[in-house]
């Protein structure tokens, strides 16, 4: 029992910090960073289920994000529904996509899944750019002003902050539960060695498929939250390669396949991104991408376990045991 | 007649697809490794050609050779400094390494040259020839024919020479090859050099005939995936046939449905292929 106490303290402190953040930093600039951080953490945690725990590296998760982002605004544009009502349709479409990709590629080993994700994401991005039904290259817009509370269109960032925080809480709780259940062990066994896992009776294909569907669902929700907040979506902000890159880099930076990895990664990357955007003036010059590319290569080359492992290398064993005590 | 012209144009472009895709398939077949930055190698080959023409002048033979050489060196350097270390690492770092490299290369070029389309200044290759009623631009014709010759040459190098046998030996059994006095590291570095060099010269050939921008690398990279998936992983002859088929399909879909649909049709074909025949046309199951 004693063993679990420090963990719960950590959770309580983390939760308190996240809950109090809008009260301590009420300046819109810092609130915006907070909201961006939460959204990035949700997306990366969703990616983490299939990419981190199961080791099936998707480089095209923007397809789920984009579908989730388009659905609310599409149903608003077509029928004038509240954007929230579109969320389940986004999830359904994402699950269909997950099945289309997962069923053929999960039978095969290795890189097929990664290749299929990037090809399908690009296919959908180009297709949405030419499809008039979803606004082609111009995209879709949400309600300009809220018709009622049910539109979830707020002037202030604070309500979004707490909605996003609640979703992140649910997702992390779910991931924690998975981690400790048979399903979680199956996923990690698959990551460590697929053939060995199969020989020990792990239903490899089914487990990978469940992980992908779960991951797609939450990525789609993240996309819906994004378009609810911005009230606008176009092919690049929904399906752009940067969306996928960000999920991968945040999870890998913090530690792919760990519960708090995506949180740590987002806490490092989002302020860094805000800083580079302020210094270099937006993403137009491509410097953000150069930075991301460089970080990804360095992680892959030197520290595939993310900063968590880096920490273990830097801090000597004795220190760590003192800190833990 | 117009349709016939479209078909010939598609096949000539497909020949270049075959050339750079054979580089991708070589790495896959030998190391079971996917290079997400392969399209960027093609793009770099184009810019090397441009710089050589702008700085030193010279004809297509000069800048094609320069692109091939520059990319060969880059391929060896990337192998020695990055790939060698991630090859034995987890899947995550294998995929992230070249994926990050692709972003790094693409946006560094983007930063230096901006997003604008560029094309080579008028070279000695220009004009059109009339072959039996079909009007073919000379640059496309030369680029396509040279690409086929080089792809066949790469295949012969891999199957008919001592170096090719050594490469094959390393890909079949690394340890056994070491016992035979072959240095696997050196052979794998050579394979990366050949792969990147093929992409570089394909880029230079394409630069003679088409304008381009830094973002073409992404399209070429995905096209190479589709070609390799269709032709079978690790098969150079497969890449040749598949490259020609993909070029043809692109040209026909652009002709019938409109230019924006040419990539959509090819990527959709990839998804269908994954469902029906994941080992490719000539690949082993």
Do A119 and B271 lie within an 8 Å CB cutoff?
Answer: yes
Q: Which of A23-27, A113-117, A142-146 shows the highest mean pLDDT?
A: A113-117
For chain A, state the CA radius of gyration.
20
Q: What is the mean pLDDT of residues A37-43?
A: 94
pLDDT in tens, B211-224: 899 889 988 998 99
What is the pLDDT at residue A115?
83
| Cα angle for residues B189, B191, B193 (degrees, 5° grid) | 70
Q: Does residue A116 sit within a domain?
A: yes
DSSP B88: T
Nearest to A248 among B86, B96, B267 (CB): B96
Give every residue of chain B whose pLDDT is below 50, as ranges.
285
Give the phi and the psi of residue A233 in degrees, each rounded to 5.
Answer: -150, 140
CATH class as words, domain B2-116+138-276 = mainly alpha
> What tokens were used for B220?
């070429």
What is the pLDDT at residue A283?
52
Would the pTM count as exceeding 0.90? no
Do A304 and B278 lie within an 8 Å CB cutoff?
Answer: no
Answer whether A295's CB lies under 8 Å from A253's CB.
Answer: yes
Size of interface A-B (CB pairs under 8 A): 137
Do B222 and A295 lie within an 8 Å CB cutoff?
Answer: no
Task: Please name which of A211, A119, A225 lies closest in space to residue A167, comparing C-alpha atoms.
Answer: A225
Task: Please name which of B29, B18, B50 lies closest in space to residue B120, comparing C-alpha atoms.
Answer: B50
Q: Look up tokens 């030998």; give the residue.
A: B30
What is the pLDDT at residue A313?
66
What is the pLDDT at residue A310?
67
In this model, does residue A320 exceed pLDDT 90? Answer: no
What is the pLDDT at residue A308?
65
pLDDT in tens, A144-198: 776 666 666 777 778 889 999 999 999 999 999 999 999 999 999 988 888 888 8
Residues of chain B positioned with their CB less than 8 A from the CB of A98:
none
Residues of chain B positioned with their CB less than 8 A from the CB of A57:
91-92, 95-96
Nearest to B275 among A104, A294, A301 (CB): A104
What is the pLDDT at residue B59?
82
A289 inside 8 A of chain B by CB? yes
Name the least confident of A271-275, A319-323, B71-75, B118-122: A319-323
Q: Does residue A8 sit within a domain?
A: no
Question: How far from B140 is each of B162, B227, B238, CA to CA, in Å?
Answer: 34, 20, 22
pLDDT in tens, A1-16: 444 445 677 788 888 8
Closest residue in B to A257 (Cα) is B92
| Rounded Cα gap, residues B197 and B45, in angstroms | 8
Answer whether B197's CB lies under 8 Å from B19's CB.
Answer: no
Answer whether A128's CB lies under 8 Å from A235's CB.
Answer: yes
Residue ranges making up the domain that contains A62: 31-324
pLDDT in tens, A59-84: 899 999 999 999 999 988 888 788 88
Domains of chain B, residue spans = 2-116+138-276
Assign B118 to helix, strand or coil: strand
**Overall number of domains in chain A:** 1
> What tokens were used for B36?
């997400």
What is the pLDDT at residue B65?
92
User: Which residues 219-248 of B are in CB contact (within 8 Å) with A?
Assistant: 222, 225-226, 229
Closest residue in B to A57 (Cα) is B92
Q: Does residue A21 sit within a domain?
A: no
């Amino acid at each position: 029992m004693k063993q679990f106490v420090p963990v719960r303290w950590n959770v309580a402190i983390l939760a308190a910090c996240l809950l109090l953040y809008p009260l301590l930093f009420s300046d819109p600039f810092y609130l915006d960073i907070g909201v961006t951080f939460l959204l990035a953490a949700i997306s990366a945690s969703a990616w983490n289920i299939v990419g981190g725990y199961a080791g099936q590296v998707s480089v095209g998760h923007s397809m789920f994000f984009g579908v989730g982002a388009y659905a609310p605004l599409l149903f608003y544009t077509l029928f004038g529904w509240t954007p929230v009502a579109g969320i389940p349709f986004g999830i359904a479409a994402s699950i269909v996509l997950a099945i289309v990709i997962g069923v053929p590629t999960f039978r095969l080993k290795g890189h097929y899944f990664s290749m299929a994700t990037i090809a399908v994401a690009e296919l959908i991005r180009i297709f949405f750019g030419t499809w008039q039904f979803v606004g082609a290259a111009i995209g879709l817009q949400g309600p300009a002003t809220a018709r009622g509370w049910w539109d979830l269109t707020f002037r202030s960032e604070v309500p979004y902050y707490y909605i996003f925080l609640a979703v992140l809480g649910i997702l992390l709780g779910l991931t924690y539960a998975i981690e400790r259940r048979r399903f979680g062990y199956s996923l990690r066994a698959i990551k460590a060695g697929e053939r060995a896992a199969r020989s020990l009776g792990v239903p490899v294909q089914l487990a990978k498929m469940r992980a992908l569907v779960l991951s797609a669902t939450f990525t789609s929700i993240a996309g819906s939250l994004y378009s609810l907040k911005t009230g606008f979506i176009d092919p690049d902000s929904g399906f752009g390669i940067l969306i996928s890159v960000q999920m991968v880099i945040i999870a890998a930076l913090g530690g792919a396949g760990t519960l708090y990895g995506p949180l740590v990664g987002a806490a490092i990357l989002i302020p860094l991104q805000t800083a580079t955007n302020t210094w270099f003036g937006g993403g137009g010059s491509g410097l953000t991408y150069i930075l991301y590319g460089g970080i990804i290569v360095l992680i892959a080359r030197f520290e595939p376990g993310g900063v968590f492992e880096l920490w273990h290398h830097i801090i000597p064993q004795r220190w760590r045991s003192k800190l833990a005590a | 007649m117009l349709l016939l012209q479209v078909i010939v144009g598609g096949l000539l472009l497909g020949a270049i697809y075959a050339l750079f895709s054979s580089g991708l398939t070589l790495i896959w077949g030998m190391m079971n490794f996917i290079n997400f930055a392969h399209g960027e190698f093609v793009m770099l080959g184009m810019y090397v050609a441009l710089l050589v023409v702008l700085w030193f002048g010279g004809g297509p033979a000069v800048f094609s050779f320069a692109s091939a050489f520059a990319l060969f060196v880059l391929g060896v350097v990337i192998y020695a400094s990055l790939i060698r270390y991630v090859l034995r690492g987890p899947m995550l770092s294998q995929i992230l390494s070249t994926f990050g490299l692709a972003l790094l290369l693409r946006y560094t070029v983007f930063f230096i040259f901006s997003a604008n389309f560029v094309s080579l200044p008028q070279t000695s290759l220009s004009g059109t020839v009339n072959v039996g009623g079909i009007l073919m631009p000379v640059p496309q014709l030369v680029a396509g024919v040279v690409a086929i010759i080089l792809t066949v040459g790469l295949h012969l190098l891999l199957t008919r020479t001592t170096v090719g046998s050594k490469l094959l030996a390393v890909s079949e059994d690394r340890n056994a090859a070491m016992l035979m006095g072959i240095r696997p590291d050196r052979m794998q570095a050579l394979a990366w050099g050949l792969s990147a060099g093929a992409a570089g010269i394909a880029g230079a050939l394409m630069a003679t005939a088409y304008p381009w921008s830094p973002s073409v690398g992404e399209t070429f990279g995905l096209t190479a995936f589709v070609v390799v998936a269709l032709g079978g992983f690790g098969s150079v002859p497969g890449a040749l046939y598949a490259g020609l088929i993909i070029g043809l399909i692109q040209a026909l879909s652009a002709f019938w449905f409109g230019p924006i649909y040419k990539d959509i049709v090819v990527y959709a074909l990839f998804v269908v292929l994954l469902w029906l025949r994941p080992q490719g046309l000539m690949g082993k199951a």
